Amino acid sequence: MGDLQKIRLDVSNAFKLSGFTIRREATTFVAEQLLPLSVQERQKILDKLTAHLLHQCLSQPVLEKEHVETAFKECSSHGPEETETILNVIDAFSIPKLNYDNERKKFVKDVLCTNNLYPDPKWKAQFLIDRYMVIWQRTIRNKLFAQECLPSMVEEKRFKLRKIEVLLSSSSKIDEVIVMGLLTQLTEGKFYLEDPTGSVVLDMTQTRYHSGLFTENSFVLAEGYYEDKVLYVMGLVLPPSESRATSLPYFGSLNTFGGKSKSLLKNSQSLLKIEQENEDGMIIFLSDVWLDSPKVLAKLKTLFSGFNDFSPMAIVLMGEFLSCPYGYEHSTQLKSALTNLADIINQFSRLKETCKFIFIPGRGDPAAANILPRPPIPNSITTDIRDKLGDSVIFTTNPCRIQYCTQELIILRQDLVMKMCRNSIHFPETGDIPDHLIKTLLSQCSLSPLSLGVQPVYWKHADALSLYPMPDLVVVADHFQPYTRAYQDCQLVNPGSFPRTEFSFKVYIPSSRTVEDSQIPKED
């Protein structure tokens, strides 16, 4: 038997052991690639190939030549691929839409979905159903509810998670009920729990609330008993959140974050090396950057001067960009203010060449409705600053995403604390609000777990608000006092209002995943 034929047989057996059927031309391709290598190197490459393909969301376990060609290219790459961008700003309207496939227990990309700000009415319910499915599949496999008990966990108490249709079909009392659903008011003054199978009236007179902010239109776990078509809620708790490491097997190598790459850059070893070696790399976050305020401009000039010799990778400037209320001259004033900012930045040549200036609009900036996601500031206003600074400036959506090497950052400009607290059905009696907020957002897998009346959302673009799988950093720029919180390997940061907090801001250092509090010193 010739060497090539023997290698083909080894290749075929290796993939069969992993559950694949491989086409003849695909086997020949792999064998030809392995022929010049030693036996140890061949086995190492084969192990990498099978591991890589097992993480692909293939429609069938049949490997075509193009599958192994792509896998071989990615596994043998030593440097960053063309699509492996070091710093990439992703706008909210290009976020990939992923659907959970119940049969395969995996997420798949919806390739038929078309972008539309005003879709069919069915999407008003569909985006909530999609969020329910994401939270349901995550909750049902949590160790508190999973039915498959491991030997070491036999002693732990298990709970049974029911759907509402089970309650509605019963004419007798059911004790020890746990149901997951959407907390909503179908009739004014009366709360219901709703899921895709039905809705049930809640009696919350004896409810004990666990940690978190419970708002209308949030998904909750209600614990209690069911009698006479009413669910008497003894305890209300947020669905358990899930770490990124636990979530990733259900996505394979799908790019869940957005950008040009087909595969998830989180797994790129070449980008990880760049990230770890760039120990001085940093990203700066400022909010309420009032460009019509001479004091703010003076402080910005001081900031640019201080960072000119040690340039950050990006400075994220968030609105509102004018301190005055929105008026008919707002666009003209903002255009002039941005031009003045360009003149200031031009004084710092090194900063201009090596740093990206990312602009995220606030609610009062022109010219869009108060609906998330919000489009960027119009080109007609930003044309002068873009002409002066070129590729150094990026005007993007609110929210937006930033991919730096293997790290995923999500940024939102929104007074979220005030909205969440004002619309909470029960204000927490203990603990501080940022701790409750981070648990709530990661539990709800959304930046805006509020009713559409409080915070409108473009139904078909609700994926832009998704926090699942869990990112590395979430920045919610709020008027609330600055804070930094961590929960399950995710950090939540509020840089605070730049002019209202004595010109403080946040600095994120990706290599060490640390957030530093910074402030421009007062003048003597």
- In the predicted model, what is the mean pLDDT of residues 242-258? 89
**Better pLDDT: 201 or 12:** 201
Beta bridge partners of 356: 314
pTM for the predicted model, two decimal places: 0.85
CATH architecture group of domain 262-414+455-519? 4-Layer Sandwich (3.60)
Q: Is the pLDDT of residue 496 over 60?
A: yes
Give me the CATH topology for the region 3-75: Helicase, Ruva Protein; domain 3 (1.10.8)
pLDDT band at 118; cut points 50, 70, 90: confident
* Domain ranges, ordered by start, for the chain: 3-75, 262-414+455-519
Largest separation between any pair of C-alpha atoms in the chain = 86
Cβ distance 159 to 178 under 8 Å? yes
Report the share of the chain in percent with pLDDT over 90.
66
Q: Which residue has the tokens 């999407």?
A: 123
CA atoms within 13 A on the CB side of 22: 28
DSSP 378: P
Helical axes 24-34 vs 39-54, angle rounded to 10°:
140
Q: Which residue has the tokens 């409705």?
A: 369
Round to whole Å and give the CA distance between 21 and 12: 8
Question: What are the start-end ranges of the E strands in 425-524?
Answer: 473-477, 483-487, 490-494, 504-509, 514-519
Beta bridge partners of 55: none
> pLDDT by residue (tens digit) across 163-217?
999 999 998 999 999 999 999 999 888 999 999 999 999 999 999 999 999 999 9
Round to whole Å and give the CA distance between 274 and 206: 55
Would you state the pLDDT for residue 147?
64
Round to whole Å and give the CA distance between 15 and 225: 51
Q: Is the pLDDT of residue 81 over 70?
A: no
Would you state the pLDDT for residue 386?
96
> pLDDT by residue (tens digit) across 393-406?
999 999 999 999 99
- In the predicted model, what is the mean pLDDT of residues 308-316? 95
Tokens of 54: 């097992």
Tokens of 444: 């709800």
- In the predicted model, what is the mean pLDDT of residues 83-99? 90
Range with the poorest average pLDDT among 261-265, 461-465, 501-505: 261-265
**Better pLDDT: 378 or 147:** 378
Round to whole Å and give the CA distance between 6 and 178: 58
> pLDDT by residue (tens digit) across 418-441?
999 999 999 998 889 999 999 999
Would you state the pLDDT for residue 524?
55
pLDDT band at 79; cut points 50, 70, 90: very low
Would you state the pLDDT for residue 155?
47
pLDDT band at 77; cut points 50, 70, 90: low
Round to whole Å and give the CA distance between 103 and 213: 33
Tokens of 239: 């669905």
Q: Is the pLDDT of residue 333 over 80?
A: yes
If phi > 0 it is left, if psi is from -120 to 50 it is alpha, else beta; for residue 256 that is alpha
Closest to 354 in 3D by CA, of 289, 407, 281, 412: 281
> pLDDT by residue (tens digit) across 437-485?
999 999 999 999 999 999 999 999 999 999 999 999 999 999 999 999 9
Report the share of the chain in percent with pLDDT over 70.
94
Q: Report the mean per-residue pLDDT for the chain.
A: 89
Rg (CA), the chain: 26
Q: Is the pLDDT of residue 149 over 60?
A: no
Would you state the pLDDT for residue 150?
47
Say yes or no: do domains 3-75 and 262-414+455-519 share a fold: no
Q: Is the pLDDT of residue 148 over 90?
A: no
Length of the chain in terms of residues written: 524
Would you state the pLDDT for residue 156?
56
Q: Is the pLDDT of residue 326 over 70?
A: yes
> pLDDT by residue (tens digit) across 13-31?
777 877 778 888 878 887 7
> pLDDT by residue (tens digit) across 234-247?
999 999 999 999 99
Identify the helix (H) or strand (E) that includes residue 227. Answer: strand 219-227
Residue 175 one-letter amino acid: D
Q: Is the pLDDT of residue 154 over 80?
A: no
